[in-house]
Amino acid sequence: MSKSRRSERMVVITRLLSQKPHTLFSLNFFSRMFNVAKSTISEDLNIMRETCEKWGIGELTTVPGAAGGVKFIPRLSREETEELVDFLQQELSREERILPGGYLYMADLIYNPQIVGKAGRLLATIFQDKKPDYIVTVETKGIPLALMTATAFNVPLVIIRANNKVTEGSAVSINYVSGSTKRIQSMSLARRALPPDSKVIIIDDFMKAGGTARGMQDLLQEFRAETLAIGVMVATAEPKDKLVSNYISILDLVSVDTDKKEVKIVPGKWYSQ
Amino acid sequence: MSKSRRSERMVVITRLLSQKPHTLFSLNFFSRMFNVAKSTISEDLNIMRETCEKWGIGELTTVPGAAGGVKFIPRLSREETEELVDFLQQELSREERILPGGYLYMADLIYNPQIVGKAGRLLATIFQDKKPDYIVTVETKGIPLALMTATAFNVPLVIIRANNKVTEGSAVSINYVSGSTKRIQSMSLARRALPPDSKVIIIDDFMKAGGTARGMQDLLQEFRAETLAIGVMVATAEPKDKLVSNYISILDLVSVDTDKKEVKIVPGKWYSQ
């Protein structure tokens, strides 16, 4: 293959690193791929590192030594973060979203690839010091956000089911009390879904009292998993004392007034830090 | 802002187009973003177009005229497609995946961001002539693949629920007969989830007789939606006559022999074309 131009290599490397974040690529790999000297690749990666930093795209980490190389860690820039939080705050405040019982209709937002894509990168940015082996969620509405968080970390997603399914083999089930409705519910996870002693981050769309998240933590303990953190799109401000403590919410829902048709929603505590 | 270098612009443009496929960006937009002449941007995009073509990354389409610009249409290259199909075929043939009842354990594959990411781009490549407004799936296991297909098309995802939920407002429900188990089940979709007369592609993880897909089509007709196509990760070879016709399966499951511990699985018919 003929030698490639730098601008061409930049396109291909950017695309590859974007699609495989947190993955180590050696200089040799790129050198063979493009048929150019390692020193040339090294210059390419320096430009890329500066560009990623300058534009807030993410971080290009260099791992030195013979087994070394570079890996790309995607980030949501401060500008994109503000844009996302403003957008969600405005959207979720719209009175048309208020449903009977004081619920908010969120499906169009939490199922939108662009929005959950950014929200997933945001959670991965907030939890950037954590090194999860898995992202865990419970069916159904948290799945898109959890998958996008797993994509940003480039780790597998594990989905806890509300009931045990024949297509998943032997499973561990627990009963838990939903913190808000006080009803007893069950959730179940296939034995083979999670190796023992895994480190996980729990992701969900919504948290009220935290009963579901607590149930997930209890179920995960049956797998000797360590929960590094919990991240949700929206948590309600009340009750203030949740059944779990180590959670981050992108937004906090302060109140829904079904009579006045008013929603008060604010960025989570992480935002001002 | 000072003028930027070409290699820097290539990184930023590649990242932006990758994250917002099927979205029109004007030359003016990039020209302002980088503080360079439109003719320079035009040269950048020419290099990018050639690179995307040469490396099978996707297609950079030019829309001419005053309201014109470029949009990026991601593709899975022939090489990546073969790699993915080979990998899935090998993985799904492993005897450890055989579950009681002749089911195959697939959760680790269909919940893995890298794998469903590629499979979603593959389905978007196979359906490249379709112009869906939405990707539709039914909870739970098809959601990751459906979200990744929606990401590649950059259209919203719609998730049909097995039961009506209070958090989704008024909904349309139907009963359907599962084609394989012959049991009557129900599915439900929130009124506001899908505007009338939408064009949709249905995505799911698995199809046996096609009863669920048929049920989805029936429910979608209540929204006057047009089903452009159906795509699944795995379809069983038997029964040959499914309850739906216009589907594509990435892989066809020919047989699972629970005694001999043998799985026979082959690429779908699209593969040889």
The pLDDT value recorded for residue A3 is 58
Q: How distant is the Cα of B244 from the closest Cα of chain A, in angstroms?
A: 23
Contact B7 A10 (CB under 8 A): yes
Three-state helix/strand/coil letters over B78-146: HHHHHHHHHHHHHHHCCHHHEECCCEECCHHHHCCHHHHHHHHHHHHHHCCCCCCCEEEEECCCCHHHH
List the domain boundaries for chain A. Answer: 6-74, 78-272
CA distance B209 to B118: 26
Q: What is the DSSP letter of B167?
A: G
Query: Best mutation site among A141, A147, A149, A194 for testing chain B: the one with the most B CBs within 10 Å?
Result: A147
How confident is the prediction for chain A on average, in pLDDT? 94
- Report the C-alpha gap between B263 and B93 in whole angstroms: 5
pLDDT for the residue B178:
80
C-beta of residue B61 within 8 angstroms of C-beta of residue B70: yes
Predicted pLDDT of residue A67: 82
Please give the ipTM for the structure prediction: 0.95
Closest residue in A to B151 (Cα) is: A113
CATH no. of A6-74: 1.10.10.10
Nearest to B160 by CA among B97, B225, B113, B115: B225
Q: What is the pLDDT of residue A102?
A: 86
Tens-digit pLDDT profile for residues A114-166? 999 999 999 999 999 999 999 999 999 999 999 999 999 999 999 999 877 77
* Residues A199-216 pLDDT 10s: 999 999 999 999 999 999
Q: What is the mean pLDDT of residues A180-199?
A: 91
Which among A256, A134, A53 has a CA at the least distance from the CA of B113? Answer: A134
pTM of the predicted structure, to 2 decimals = 0.96
- Which pLDDT value is given to residue B40? 95
Which of B18, B47, B54 has its CB closest to that of A18?
B18
For residue range A68-113, what is the model confidence (pLDDT) as tens digits?
899 999 999 999 999 999 999 999 999 999 998 888 999 999 999 9
pLDDT tens series, chain B, 273 aa: 455 799 999 999 999 999 999 999 999 999 999 999 999 999 999 999 999 999 999 999 999 888 889 999 999 999 999 999 999 999 999 999 999 888 899 999 999 999 999 999 999 999 999 999 999 999 999 999 999 999 999 999 999 999 777 778 899 999 998 866 788 999 999 999 999 999 999 999 999 999 999 999 999 999 999 999 999 999 999 999 999 999 999 999 999 999 999 999 999 999 987
pLDDT digits (tens, 9 = 90+) for B99-136: 988 889 999 999 999 999 999 999 999 999 999 999 99
Sort out which chain A residues have CB atoms less than 8 A from B48's CB and list them.
11
Q: A272 falls in which pLDDT band (50, 70, 90)?
A: confident
The predicted pLDDT at position A1 comes to 43
pLDDT greater than 60 at residue A2: no
The answer to whether residue A15 scores a pLDDT higher than 90 is: yes
| CB-CB under 8 Å, A154 with B55 | no
Whether residues A113 and B48 touch (CB distance < 8 A) is answered with no
Question: Which residue of chain A has the CA closest to B47?
Answer: A8
B78-272 CATH pick, 1.10.260.40, 3.50.50.60, 3.40.50.880, 3.40.50.2020: 3.40.50.2020
